[in-house]
A and B are shown apart, each in its own frame.
Chain A
Amino acid sequence: MWRKNEYLKRLFSKYYRNAKVHIPKSLPQREFAFVYFGKEEYMHRHIAFSNEEELISHIRKNTPRHVFYSSAYYEYPAASNMNEKEWLGAELIFDIDVDHIDTPCKKLHDKWFCLNCGASGWGVPPQTCYKCGSERIKRETWICETCLSVAKDEALKLIDFLIDDFGFSRRKLVITFSGHRGFHVHIDEEDILKLDQDSRREISDYIRGVGVDYRFFIPVRSSLYPVYTLDYGAPAWLGRIMRALYNLFSSNILEQELKKIGLSSRKIEKILSIRDEVVRKLEAVPPELEYLGKVIDPDSWEKIFHFITEEEGVKIDERVTIDIKRLIRLPESIHGKTGMKVAILSYQDLEEFNIEKHAVIFPSEIVKISFKNPPRKVLNIDLPTSGGLFEVPFYAFVYFLANGAEVERVKT
């Protein structure tokens, strides 16, 4: 382990010799935190720098494995007690991480082990071990093209929300590849720095589609509220719901979808029998939702809305957005578990995201390695299940090493 660490540290050090890490606004008011090689279990926190040179020379001198900075601005960022730091404001941050999203590829590359009985399996780990019931489960996770493309789609959806609904201009968004399993978006604008946790929760709920209540959108008998006039081009959730309803009812897998939504077979049958009429009413100009409110009962609406809002909302990690004192990876630093950089991306970069082009910092030359118990798919590389010797680009070897795999380079 020690030799692996030394090896990685040398590689990281070479990168930092010329790298330009991102310098956050008002640098002296930010807290920094580092994880160093050989002391991985400990996060060195409450560190502040008075200028850019100090930060860069600290990184060059110590070659940290991970670098974080505070989304918050503090009067005293180096104070070791959170209450003494005197919070002044914080960036608004969004985190999309495939950890929180169920993707089909996880069974190809994610593994879990029960630390109690030794049972193991592929894919999303169970809450408790199926064999012995223990909760002591260790995970080994990897990324592949599929996860990243799912995360990318979520990130693009998030940006639509931020621009269309929240009115941020595209060039004010700092988009980064998180260095591992997703993307971050930072907004560092005077206007929003002082938002408190409650306000950030509302923003996060809005983007996730939490709390969208059918009684504001569908004229049902028990409607408590004046109902909005929906249209396909309407702003906010109004348009999203309209489009989603049309997609749902005109879908050729409507029956399957309604089953997924959890409606009883009696109700599904009823909806299928009036489906043509429903679609006609949805296609009318303006759409005639009174009809839909009459023929579908409130309980079903609640379920349909739950489904729609989950599909249309963005799967952000709400804890990151709500936390006003978050430590987050410094853009353009290296993620110590992948050896890839937390790359700043333009909107176009994100649309065309390619990990090799945007985040890989080590050479692509092919090296021969031995790998015990490899995952079946990592990045865009298919690996033989049996393990053994094979050839991969050098940066992938670094990823395997950094993520704790039992891998060795074989000299030829």
Chain B
Amino acid sequence: MDLIFTKEDLAKYPFSKDARKYVKELKFDYKDFKTRYGEEVLERAYLRINAAIERRVIPPIFDEDLDVEILSFPTALLLVGNIGDSLLSTRYAIAESKRASLFLRNESSEKILYLASNTFGWKIIFRKNGKFQGYTFRLFFRDYLSHIPEHSPAWKLSNRILENGEVLLIRHDVVRLLEEAVKIYILNRLSKKMKVDDFSVFLPWIEKIRNSWSKYKVKIEKWKTLDYGEEAYPPCIINLLNATKAGKNIPHVGRFALAAFLLNIGKTVDEVLDIFRSSPDFSENIARYQIEHIAGLRGSRIRYSPFKCENMKSYGLCRDDGKSCKNIKHPLQYYYRKGIAKKRKNVEKKRIS
């Protein structure tokens, strides 16, 4: 396929193979960051990151100088990677991937195909007139499986058309999977330390990002590190916890939901491992691996969140009695709401007494 990206495409998809090649050809060196031009690149990189921090989205607009725009992406990676905060890395990666996704939605099928196969090495083909209307893409199942964006019935392979090793997909599916690929690519890049001889020019920018990030991080951390106790667990999690403690054999999705919930409210891998110790088929090696995986310490380096309520329902794990979970969409939302409400009550009680 010899579709070559335009310069504008490189700005839209600065993670693409073509963009990486282009950046190399620009021969932009570390000492160039000290020029006025370099300053512009750093400024633009900072804006990317700050938008991700403050608004979780990086607006799909370009710097008027497209070279600055393109260069600002690897520069942003350098800055975020250097801070080395996994929460920030994830936030940035998601924001970049969402931005790419916005562009991709309006892209021609040929370009989508080109990006998927050329940048990410997917085995993917496009077939206009298939048996199933709209299902114009066929993706090798391996590439599909490693980019499933969420655990939900719609993405479950069992509910997909799989024929001859290829998953049939509509355009929108492919864009969503590519979004995941972009996120994974960025997280991968961020996890690798980049060596830079002279770092001084970056320091003030890193400081700026740290400042901006710390405001948000404090909020997140404070919220997340408080232990509201088991009384604040939603009924579905209580049920899973009790079944696990009683040594009952609970399905994998149940274990996943429980482990992801506990890790997300601040339990350590060892604490979670201890809870699973009474499982009938407990194997420390396997369990530890899986828990570490969910905690984001392995594999894709993404910390998994437990399923949202809708998915808990489809896995048959929901235990709502129709009253407890009004207006709740996610087990963690239940926990924080209940926990914060309880804290408030306690404060009031103290005041009264």
The chain A residues found within 8 Å of chain B, CB to CB, are 82, 164-168, 191-192, 195-199, 201-203, 205-206, 209-213, 215-216, 225, 228-229, 234-238, 319, 323, 325
Contact = CB atoms under 8 A, between A and B. Distances in A.
B343 interface: no
Contacts of A228: 132, 161
Contact of A166 (B146, B161, B162, B290): B162
Contacts of A202: 145, 148, 156-158
Contacts of B156: 202, 205, 211, 213
Given A199-B146, A203-B157, A213-B153, A236 B162 contact: yes
A209 to B, nearest CB: 7
B282 to A, nearest CB: 12
B24 interface: no
B142 A199 contact: yes
B165 A167 contact: yes
A191 to B, nearest CB: 6
A201 B255 CA distance: 14
A165 B157 CA distance: 11
Given A225-B154, A228-B132, A211 B159 contact: yes
B35 interface: no
A203 B158 contact: no
Given A168-B165, A216-B159, A195 B142 contact: yes
B141 interface: yes
Nearest to A215: B153
A383 B162 CA distance: 47
Nearest to A199: B145
B121 to A, nearest CB: 12
B166 A211 contact: no
23 contacts: A167-B141, A167-B164, A167-B166, A196-B146, A196-B299, A198-B293, A199-B142, A202-B145, A202-B148, A202-B157, A203-B145, A205-B157, A205-B158, A211-B158, A211-B159, A212-B158, A213-B314, A229-B132, A234-B131, A234-B161, A235-B162, A237-B158, A325-B285
A228 B131 CA distance: 11
Given A195-B145, A199-B142, A199-B146, A236 B165 contact: no
A158 to B, nearest CB: 15
A201 B154 CA distance: 16
Contacts of B145: 195, 198-199, 202-203
B352 interface: no
B286 interface: yes
Contacts of B290: 197
Contact of A212 (B132, B141, B159, B293): B159
A206 B146 contact: no
Given A197-B290, A199-B142, 4 more contacts: A165-B162, A195-B146, A202-B158, A211-B158
A195 B143 CA distance: 9
What are the 8 closest A-B residue pairs judged by CB atoms, nearest first? A167-B165, A199-B145, A235-B163, A167-B164, A211-B158, A211-B156, A202-B157, A213-B153
A85 to B, nearest CB: 12
B160 interface: yes
B99 to A, nearest CB: 26
A213 B159 contact: yes
A215 B156 CA distance: 13
A201 B252 contact: yes
A156 to B, nearest CB: 19
A121 B93 CA distance: 60
A235 B159 contact: no
Contact of A216 (B140, B153, B164, B252): B153
Interface in B133-175: 140-142, 145-146, 148, 153-154, 156-166
A228 B156 CA distance: 15
A207 B314 CA distance: 19
Contacts of A237: 158-159
Contacts of A203: 141, 145, 157
A344 B148 CA distance: 35
A165 B314 CA distance: 24
Contact of A235 (B141, B161, B314): B161
B296 to A, nearest CB: 13
Interface string B90-110: 000000000000000000000
B163 A165 contact: yes
A178 B308 CA distance: 41
A97 to B, nearest CB: 15
- Residue picked from A164, A166, A195, A198, most chain B C-beta under 10 Å: A198
A147 B107 CA distance: 55
- Residue picked from B132, B148, B162, B299, most chain A C-beta under 10 Å: B162
A4 B252 CA distance: 42
A229 B162 CA distance: 14
Given A199-B146, A202-B157, A323 B286 contact: yes
A197 B159 contact: no
Contacts of B285: 82, 325
Interface in B278-331: 281, 285-286, 289-290, 293, 299, 314
A211 B161 contact: no
B252 A206 contact: no
Contact of A206 (B162, B165, B166): B162
Contacts of B148: 198, 202
Contacts of A164: 163-164
Nearest to A213: B153
Contacts of B153: 211, 213, 215-216, 225
A205 B156 CA distance: 9
B181 to A, nearest CB: 14
A31 B71 CA distance: 46
A302 B285 CA distance: 36
Nearest to B293: A197
Contact of A209 (B131, B141, B158, B281): B158
A228 B130 CA distance: 14
Contacts of A212: 158-159
B158 A206 contact: yes
Contacts of B281: 319
Contacts of A205: 156-158
- Residue picked from B146, B157, B293, B314, most chain A C-beta under 10 Å: B157
A191 B162 contact: no
Nearest to B160: A236
Contacts of B131: 234
Contacts of B141: 166-167, 203
